[in-house]
A = this chain, B = another copy of it.
Amino acid sequence: MTPKAKPPRKTAAKPARRIRYHVACSLDGYIADEDGGADWIVDEPGIDFKELFAQFDTFLMGRLTYEPMMRMNTTGMGMSGKEVVVVSRTLRPADHPGVTIISHDLEGRVRELRERPGKDIWLFGGGELFRSLLELGLVDTVEPAIIPVVLGAGRPFLPGPEIQRYLTLTTHRAYPSGIVWLEYEVQAPKARR
């Protein structure tokens, strides 16, 4: 039987927008190599990044993802004019003007962010933040772009320990480069078929 798509866990208020973990990963489940590098990601001219970035007005990420980005010029990455939210206990807001820093009450702050009207929220990485938000039932979709490579080691797509969450496949697409783009909705825990 084909399982019906199940909406993610709800709180009293239906979220106004979705939190989407969209990330490039290797076939064996790594989002960066052991040195944090991503030069194993192949080019794919067929992906319309402009259209992709236009779906989001907020970027949510951990410090380990944010810091290297800040060292680059991220305006070229389509983040110009968007809200950047960084989850970190150590960064000082005064040092990062224009950036929202969440240092405590992750669940309350992210839930509030999700219930605020707007476009979708791109959970930009990394795996640790995905892990925390998955446990809190605050990830709506998982959208890996699977690069045609195996790495054997690196920063995991989803760090341990064991957790079991079923997903509902909503979109799949293969590109000439061999990248396979998948989109899933996260099912509520224990929603076994």
A154 to B28 CA separation, bound complex (whole angstroms): 13
Check if B27 sits within 8 Å of A184, measured CB to CB: yes
- Choose one: B40, B157, B184; the contact of A164 (CB below 8 Å): B40
Candidate in A142, A159, A166 with the most chain B CB atoms within 10 angstroms: A166
A47 on the B face (CB < 8 A): no
**Quick one: given A3-B177, A28-B158, are A164 and B193 in contact (CB under 8 Å)?**
no
Check if A164 sits within 8 Å of B177, measured CB to CB: no
A174 on the B face (CB < 8 A): yes
Candidate in A28, A42, A172, A177 with the most chain B CB atoms within 10 angstroms: A28
**Quick one: given A42-B193, A174-B169, are A163 and B180 in contact (CB under 8 Å)?**
no
A176 to B2 CA separation, bound complex (whole angstroms): 5
CB-nearest residue of chain B relative to A135?
A: B152
**What is the oligomeric copy number?**
2
Check if A160 sits within 8 Å of B152, measured CB to CB: yes
CB-nearest residue of chain B relative to A184?
A: B148
Closest Cβ–Cβ distance, residue A164 to chain B (whole Å): 6
Check if A150 sits within 8 Å of B176, measured CB to CB: no
15 extra A-B contacts, CB within 8 A, seeds A27-B167, A149-B166, A178-B184:
A3-B178, A27-B142, A27-B182, A28-B29, A40-B164, A148-B167, A149-B165, A150-B157, A150-B163, A150-B165, A151-B163, A152-B160, A152-B161, A153-B161, A153-B162
Residue positions of A touching B, CB distance < 8 A: 2-3, 27-30, 33-34, 40, 42, 131, 134, 142, 144, 146, 148-154, 156-169, 172, 174, 176-178, 180, 182, 184, 193
Task: List 4 tightest A-B contacts by C-beta distance, closest first.
Answer: A29-B29, A169-B178, A153-B160, A152-B163
